[in-house]
Amino acid sequence: MPKKNVGLIGCGTIGTHLALAIESRTIVNASLVGLFDGVDSNAKSLQSKLKSSPEVHPDFNSFIDSPADIIIEAASQEAVRKFGKPIIEASKDLMIMSVGALADATFLTELLDLAAVRKGRSKIYVPTGAIAGIDAIRSVKHLLDSITLTTTKSPKALAGAPFFATREVNLDIITKVTEIYEGPAAEAVKLFPANVNVAAVLSLAGVGADKTKVRVVVDPQATTNQHEIVAKGRFGDIKITVNNVTTPGNPKTSFLAVLSAIECLRSICNDALRVGS
């Protein structure tokens, strides 16, 4: 398998772990060639931690001209909306972490149409992120009657979400386990963009972002980020609960999401045999 040149958009929590995984050869057959971050100092700070010294690009135009074969987005939904299409147009593969951006059906169709026009020269990869069981949901998607994701997090993990700008919910005074939101994944990813990317992953695997239901629950005592998937249909039912420790320095990002990103890239770069994907 030829070695993959990797470019990274977003040099925060997930980006840093991915870069270090390439550097330590946890991911083999990959070379990190370019870094880009909206906050230049974040890219420079990551570069300083790496012996390989990938180039820091001051803007996207310079970044996209780098010799990367695959671009990893570990930045924000906005970054996917802004850079997704130009990456496909440049015939590069794209791995997306801010999957919430793909819950917008129009944007998703445009991105996939573009990839189709490029005649398979670009592939789009979506790691399973902070949840499990996506293989099973994909298998039963034609038989699903209902699918619900219940995400339970601490106030610290949910703080700052756009949801709180428009609703009268005060995280500081919640003292017991409280459901604060229920709605379709298409809406949930906009209200909680840094918390329920997994709802978009579930939607892509199953019945889409309008039919996938999301509940967000605040637990003041929570020490983990919990995602529970309940799916029902003619196949029977599936219930999967994942209790994720958070990533040091970022209570919003589950450590499983970091591990899933590393495993996805490792598999793309190195595996002739893919199990469960």
In the bound state with ligand NAD, the residue whose beta carbon lies nearer, of 82 and 141, is 82
* Whether 33 contacts 5, CB under 8 Å: yes
DSSP element (H, E) containing 154? none
Considering the complex, what minimum distance in angstroms separates the CB of residue 60 from ligand NAD?
8
* Whether 79 contacts 172, CB under 8 Å: no
In the bound state with ligand NAD, the residue whose beta carbon lies nearer, of 10 and 84, is 10
In the bound state with ligand NAD, the residue whose beta carbon lies nearer, of 37 and 69, is 37
84 binding ligand NAD? (CB under 6 A): no
Give the Å distances, CA to CA, from 143 to 27, 51, 237: 36, 50, 10
Please identify which residue in 30, 35, 37, 163 interacts with ligand NAD, judged by CB under 6 A.
37
- The piece of 22-30, 34-42, 105-113, 234-242 that touches ligand NAD (CB under 6 A) is 34-42
Considering the complex, what minimum distance in angstroms separates the CB of residue 257 from ligand NAD?
3
149 binding ligand NAD? (CB under 6 A): no
Give the separation between CA 227 and CA 244, rounded to whole angstroms. Answer: 8
Dihedral sign for Cα atoms in the order 247, 252, 256, 259: negative
Instruction: Name the residues annotated as catalytic.
Output: 227
Please identify which residue in 8, 64, 95, 99 interacts with ligand NAD, judged by CB under 6 A.
99
* Whether 197 contacts 134, CB under 8 Å: no
* Cα R_g (the chain), whole angstroms: 19
Task: Summarize as ranges the residues that interact with ligand NAD (CB under 6 A).
Answer: 9-15, 37-39, 42, 74-76, 78-79, 82, 97-99, 129-130, 194, 197-198, 201, 250, 253-254, 257
